[in-house]
Chains A and B, each alone.
Chain A
Amino acid sequence: MSENFPPPGFIPTESAIPGIEVFIPTPPDSGPHQEIVDFKCPQCGATTAFSAADGGLTCTHCSYYEAPKKPIVGRAAEQFEFTVETMARAAQGWGTARKELSCQNCGATTSLPEDSLTVVCPFCGSNKVIQRQAAQDLLRPRFVLPFKITEADCARIARQWLGESWMLPSGLSDIATLGGFTGLYLPYWTFDADLQADWKAEVGHTKTERYYNNGEWKTRTVVEWRWESGRANLHIDDLLTPGSARLSQNLLHQIGNFDLSTLAPYEPAYLAGFQAKAYDIPLEAAWEVGRQAMREQARLACLSQTSTPQVRNFNMNLDYANESWRYVLLPVYVAHYTYAGKTYQALVNGQSGAIAGQRPVDWNKVWLAIAAILSPGVLLGLLGLMTAPLAGIGMVIGGVGFTLLIIGVVIAIAVYLKADRMDDL
């Protein structure tokens, strides 16, 4: 018998038969057993926080730096199947003591460090919040995408963003209230699946045929419908589905180009100094949303196999296999700023810096621009009317004016829609 038995990484477990010892792999750290983490600098005792710039815990007082303990795993991060057992096995809680903010205005629940003094809801900017201990019965996130963008980057990106459109009020980028970006880890579900879609449909083939009518040969176009069938196999990898309904799904979609190749195993250190949102869309509901996206992809893949685009009586049977999920936290900055007495929200992708949000539109500028766009056409049209008695020249001026008016109307509508969309977000 070898002396170095069992090898490292194995621990004994209960055996059902005497005389037989059984060893199992040492289980990974699980949340509930983890000690409460105190994010204090070991050198000076000040509070440490995760630094997006340095990618680790740093102390603002003495420049102490501590790298994350677990390496980046990226897209190879462990995935879980849809079993009750796996759900039960998933460790729960945040792994460190955190408080929970419950907003009385929008209903959002946010987890934040115990020593956080934040009393403003990051979702709606309301200060009508109450604090309570974070519930431990939520599924614990297993992976996190660390912040890469700093708050200072956010302010710069936001200023640029606020100043990039002529439709926005002058000086918007300089408003003093901007800069209060809150780093927030948002819950997301990722889904993988192999899809096998068997389809059958009537596909229309257009052909020209000759026929004899009233003593002469004529041609006509007819559609001949033939049944076709096929199979499409798709692998869906890391389909992202938001785990929170508290933020505008439209804004999230705009900033949602997260690169999951830098996913890291969850460590409380990543959350030090940041807020984190627990999911409020549970796995089952998120999987329903994810499946809707997958089935649409499968349907389009099947339709792309038809010999012509004319299709009717389309039927499809879709089988899912190797479905798996992950619960991850993705970095987002949320900012609220006030302009003309109204509060606006902006989101910044904490990894890529992509920004989206509401911006106040200076409608005076917009209407002036629309007037300027329409005026050449209107003026020339009027001139054309006035010079109509002069026959030829009047007709030419009127025609040009009418054309410019049509073009102006089209451009004006586009400008209006863009401004309206910017205002509505």
Chain B
Amino acid sequence: MICEVCQARFLPLNGGAADATAPLQRCPQCYQAELVSQALSDEIQPFIHPAELAIPFALSTADIDQAVQRFANGIPFPPSDLTGERLRSRLNRIYLPMWLVDAQVKAEWQAEAGFNYRVISRQERYSAQGWSSQPVEEQRIRWEPRLGRLQRAYQNIVVPALEDHRRLQAALGEFDLRQAQPYQIRLAQNVLLRLPDRPPQAAWSEAKPALQSAAAEECRRAARADHLRRFAWRPKFNSLNWTLLLLPVYTTYYLDDEGHPQAVWINGKSGQLSGRRRASPSRARRAALIWLIAAAICFLISLALAAASTFAPLLLALAVLALTFALLAGIGAATPLLRVWWFNRPASA
């Protein structure tokens, strides 16, 4: 399935296999349009069945309730569609993909290995009493050249499979990849798999530095060094194998004033929530109008009381009081508009 607005492609999973009978639904990423059926591209198809690892959804219903309620609360004049209940009722479970790369590597490498050592320095002080001296222990790093050969197999090097992976990660926070489990059927019940939009050929440019980092870390350990820098290698890669790691995400949405869906994302592991919280200008305008009407009524009353005070001078005090209320209510009428404007300004989005 593909969303024709955001071009995100999804594969409905039910019981570990693609669910061809799944009903069409709104795109769980942008919620702008219905998903449209589309055949899997040849570029991706060989790599996605089955996924190798998955981080299971770990949030309980209570956790999700708490998260969406926290999202819905605290918004001045929220859109009528923005309620915890609505957000809950529209929840979708999706898996975001990451590539897992396995490779056999042969390489010659060289680097500077850093070894921690401690030195005793000095701090001295001169005063009227003369000199006083105290030793100060400092840790320093001794750098020494190292080189060598490497013949190792690296498995499950993680590489982004989506073009917008970094943006999503910034919104949802880091996933603890150590919690990934071998993919099982029970992890794929009624869930949509977001399909990679970066094929392995495109992701290889990121896989190589990741493999280099993994190799550098192993070379550091092999050299029994505390640090490694200026690592350079001449690698030859063999037996490349690409599989998928699935990251759990809940998505939902609400409709803003203009009826546009605003997507809300929840990290399926940590519960970190991301989405644009919008206040409703129309509700704010209505509130402001009520305040203005109240101000106008007070003003009319104050005029009436002022006219009546020619017969009963004491009523003049009440007229002044009513006029004050009218002024305060008039000023207060701007408050809802200002609050909504302040809340919806770009910096708070």
- A-to-B contact residues, CB < 8 Å: 1-2, 5-7, 10, 13, 15-17, 19-25, 81-86, 291, 295, 299, 313-321, 323
A318 pairs with B108, CB closer than 8 A = no
* B-chain residues with CB within 8 Å of residue A84 when the two chains form the complex: 118
The answer to the question of B128 belonging to the interface, with a C-beta cut-off of 8 Å to chain A, is: yes
Give Cα distance in the complex from A5 to B121, angstroms. Answer: 41
**Interface 9-residue window, one of B19-27, B145-153, B255-263, B308-316:** B145-153
* A-chain residues with CB within 8 Å of residue B221 when the two chains form the complex: 16-17
Give Cα distance in the complex from A75 to B219, angstroms. Answer: 35
How many inter-chain residue pairs (CB < 8 Å) link A and B? 99
A295 pairs with B124, CB closer than 8 A = yes
Distance of A314 from chain B, by nearest CB (Å): 7
CB neighbors of A among B102-160 (8 A): 106, 108, 117-128, 131, 133, 140, 144-152
Known: A313-B128, A315-B127. A5 touches B149 (CB 8 A): yes
Return the chain B residue nearest A295 by Cβ.
B124
- B-to-A contact residues, CB < 8 Å: 106, 108, 117-128, 131, 133, 140, 144-152, 218-219, 221-224
Choose from A20, A85, A86, A321 the contact partner of B222 (Cβ within 8 Å).
Answer: A20
Give Cα distance in the complex from A319 to B218, angstroms. Answer: 38
Choose from B119, B123, B144, B148 the contact partner of A81 (Cβ within 8 Å).
Answer: B119
Give Cα distance in the complex from A182 to B152, angstroms. Answer: 63
Give Cα distance in the complex from A1 to B151, angstroms. Answer: 11
Known: A5-B108, A23-B147. A83 touches B118 (CB 8 A): yes
Distance of B290 from chain A, by nearest CB (Å): 65
A20 pairs with B152, CB closer than 8 A = yes
A20 pairs with B148, CB closer than 8 A = yes
B222 pairs with A1, CB closer than 8 A = no
B125 pairs with A317, CB closer than 8 A = yes
A-B contact pairs, 13 of them (CB 8 A): A1-B106, A7-B147, A10-B147, A13-B223, A20-B148, A20-B150, A21-B148, A22-B146, A23-B146, A24-B146, A25-B145, A317-B124, A317-B126
* B-chain residues with CB within 8 Å of residue A85 when the two chains form the complex: 117
B128 pairs with A22, CB closer than 8 A = no
* A-chain residues with CB within 8 Å of residue B223 when the two chains form the complex: 13, 15-16, 22
* B-chain residues with CB within 8 Å of residue A25 when the two chains form the complex: 144-145
Give Cα distance in the complex from A86 to B120, angstroms. Answer: 12
Distance of B113 from chain A, by nearest CB (Å): 9
* B-chain residues with CB within 8 Å of residue A6 when the two chains form the complex: 147-148
Distance of A112 from chain B, by nearest CB (Å): 35
B126 pairs with A318, CB closer than 8 A = yes
Distance of B28 from chain A, by nearest CB (Å): 44
* A-chain residues with CB within 8 Å of residue B122 when the two chains form the complex: 291, 318-320, 323
Choose from A15, A82, A320 the contact partner of B123 (Cβ within 8 Å).
Answer: A320
* B-chain residues with CB within 8 Å of residue A16 when the two chains form the complex: 221-224
B117 pairs with A83, CB closer than 8 A = yes
Give Cα distance in the complex from A319 to B149, angstroms. Answer: 44
Give Cα distance in the complex from A2 to B144, angstroms. Answer: 23
B147 pairs with A19, CB closer than 8 A = no
Distance of B125 from chain A, by nearest CB (Å): 5
Return the chain B residue nearest A287 by Cβ.
B122
Known: A82-B120, A320-B123. A22 touches B145 (CB 8 A): no
A321 pairs with B121, CB closer than 8 A = yes
* A-chain residues with CB within 8 Å of residue B224 when the two chains form the complex: 16
Distance of A319 from chain B, by nearest CB (Å): 6
* A-chain residues with CB within 8 Å of residue B152 when the two chains form the complex: 17, 19-20
Most buried by B among A5, A17, A313, A321: A17
Distance of A232 from chain B, by nearest CB (Å): 12
